[in-house]
Homo-oligomer: A and B are copies of this chain.
Amino acid sequence: MSKLKVCIIGLKGSISTVLISGILQSVRNKVKPGALLTDLPVFDRLGMVKLEDIEFGGFDIRDVDMYTSAIENDANNILRLDSDLDIKDKLNAIPVFKGITMNSGDAITALAGEDASLQEKSMINTVNQIRGTLRNFKGSDNCVVVNLASTEENVELSETHSTLEKFELAIENNSKEISPCLLYAYAALKEKIPYVNFTPSIGSEIPALCELAQVNKVPHAGKDGKTGETLVKTALADLFVIRNLDVNIWYGANILGNMDGKILDNSKNASTKIESKKSVLKKCLGYEADSKVRIEYMKSMDDNKVAWDHILFTGFCGAKMMMNFTWFGIDSFLAAPLVIDLVRLINLANNKGDCGIIDEFAVFFKSPMGTDLNSLVRQYQNIEEWAIKHYTNEAENA
C-alpha cells in the first residue's frame, strides 16, 4: 500500500499534535496506539493504510513551533513529550503552511501571528495559493484534508452558498459570506482531495460544495467529531426509546479549558456547537424534550473535560425517575483516534470510487452530513455493513 499524506487545517491545535505525536511514538515503539476502529478485523482486512505510511503536514495561523505546541497541548503529560527529543525533531520537521484568517471573526483572528497567516488581499489569490500548496504537498501520493481548526462563527446560509457557480462568483467578489473553512474545503475538493470536517464549522456541507464533490467525484464527510457528552447521549437515548420512557428533561453542562473551550466562550462561536449538540437529542428520541446544553470555559481544566448530564423521565403511571452521568474525558485523546480512522477510511472510500457525502461515516460525528441517523449502535451497524460490502465486492472481483 502506498503512502498517505494527511493535510491538517489547525495543525498546531490539541487534536493535531496529540494525534501526530501519538502516531509517531506508536510507530517508533512498534505498539498499537489503541482506540482505533480501523484496527478491528472487519475494517483492517480491507487493507487500511499502515500508520507508518502516513505523513503529516498542514495549515496554521499561530507563531509557535510544533514541539512547543505539542507539549502545551498535552497538559496531562500523557505522552511524556518533554523528555522525548526524538519526537521534537520529527514534529519540527513537519511542513507548516500559512493559514487563512480572512472573515474568520474576532475570536479566531486574535490567535493569528502576522507572519504565520496568509496576507493575500483577494480571495481568489488566497484560494489559488491554498490549492497550489495542496497540489505540491500531495505530489503523486494519496492525500486527505482534515479540518481540525477552531470553531468558526455561524455562517448564515444564503444564495451565495446554493450553487457552485454562485459560490465561485462570490469568491471572485471577495464575499464576506465566505469563511476560511469554506475556502479550504473548496480548495481540497477542487484538487480532488477527499475532505473531512471534524469541527462544528459549516465546512463542505453547503450545497455548492456538495455539488463540487459530485462533479469532481471526491468523497467528503463531516461534521463535528462525536467524542464526549454527545457520544454518551447517542448511546443512552436509545434506552429511553426502547423502554418507551418519556424524557422530560435532558440537561448537560460541559466544562472545558483548552483552546476549543476558549473559542467557544465567545457566544457567536458557541452557538454553532450548541446547536450541533442539541439537535441530536430530538433526532434520537423522535420528540422534543426540554433540553439545554451549556459549554463553559474554565481555564484550569486544561485539556480535561467534565460533562454532567441530568435526565428526568416519566415511566409507568406517571412515576418520575432520574439518571445522571458524569463524563471525565481528555478531549484530544478522544478525538485523535477518530481522525486517524476517518483519514484511513475516506482514503479507502476514494480508492474504491465512493464519492459525495459518505453518510456511513456518521458514527464519528455529532451532526452527521447526509443522514438523520444519530443512534450510535445503528450508525456503527451502517459503517460495518459498508465495510463488509466493500470486502465482499473485492473478494468477488478478485
**A residues lining the B interface (CB < 8 Å):** 18-19, 22, 25-26, 33-37, 39-40, 76-80, 82-83, 231-232, 235-236, 238-239, 242-246, 248-249, 251, 253, 255, 290, 292, 294, 296, 298-301, 306, 308, 310, 312, 314-319, 321-330, 333-334, 336-337, 363, 375-378, 380
A308-B36 in contact (CB<8A): no
B37-A243 in contact (CB<8A): yes
Chain B residues, Cβ within 8 Å of A334: 243, 315-316, 321
Contact partner, A326, options B33, B315, B319, B325, Cβ 8 Å: B325
Give chain B nearest CB distance to A84 CB in angstroms. Answer: 10
Chain B residues, Cβ within 8 Å of A326: 323-326
With contacts A323-B328, A326-B326 known, what are 7 further pairs, Cβ within 8 A?
A34-B315, A35-B316, A78-B317, A235-B235, A249-B298, A322-B327, A325-B325
Number of copies: 4
B317-A26 in contact (CB<8A): yes
Cα–Cα distance between A369 and B270 once the two chains are bound (Å)? 38
B321-A251 in contact (CB<8A): no
The 10 closest A-B pairs by CB, nearest first: A248-B300, A319-B333, A377-B377, A325-B325, A235-B239, A322-B328, A22-B317, A83-B83, A35-B316, A35-B315
Cα–Cα distance between A236 and B232 once the two chains are bound (Å)? 7
Contact partner, A251, options B298, B333, B375, B377, Cβ 8 Å: B298
B78-A319 in contact (CB<8A): yes
Cα–Cα distance between A317 and B328 once the two chains are bound (Å)? 17
Give chain B nearest CB distance to A282 CB in angstroms. Answer: 16
Chain B residues, Cβ within 8 Å of A376: 238-239, 242
**Given the contacts A232-B236, A298-B292, A308-B310, A34 and B316 also touching, CB distance less than 8 Å:** yes
27 contacts between A and B (CB under 8 A): A22-B316, A26-B317, A34-B244, A35-B314, A37-B243, A231-B239, A232-B323, A235-B238, A235-B239, A238-B377, A242-B377, A243-B337, A251-B253, A255-B310, A300-B312, A301-B312, A306-B310, A308-B308, A315-B333, A315-B334, A315-B337, A321-B329, A322-B328, A323-B326, A323-B327, A324-B325, A377-B378
